[in-house]
Structure 1
Amino acid sequence: MIRVRIPQKEKEIEVRGPRRVMDILAEAGVRPATVIVTQGRKLLTKDHRVQDGETIDVISVVSGG
């Protein structure tokens, strides 16, 4: 299982892997354009394949002026 942490929503889910980041976001109900996804200190692309046993963090992008 892949552990998916979404700190802004105080949510954590597990999904079966291997799976692409974009597919994980779709299952979690997260719009890809609104977040970045990291694994440790590494930024992941939407096409990156995440393996079972790995943990990723979904971080909301905030902008303002």
Structure 2
Amino acid sequence: MTNKHKNVLDPEIQEMLEKERQKQAKDQEEADDKLSKLPMIIGVLMGVSVLLGLLLSLLTLFKS
């Protein structure tokens, strides 16, 4: 707790707060990593859809 004369936290509480801050920072970093991969995944899926569209249009040209 806090001392009446000094505004000092117990070492155990400081350690607990530091662990909590590190955990929150790690969770935030993992969330940022997931968001940074999202545009790449969307780009790959768009590329695949364009290629499939071209393939289907070529198939319809050769079948007719």
TM-score computed with the length of structure 2 as normaliser: 0.21
Task: Answer with 1 or 2: which has the greater Rg.
Answer: 2
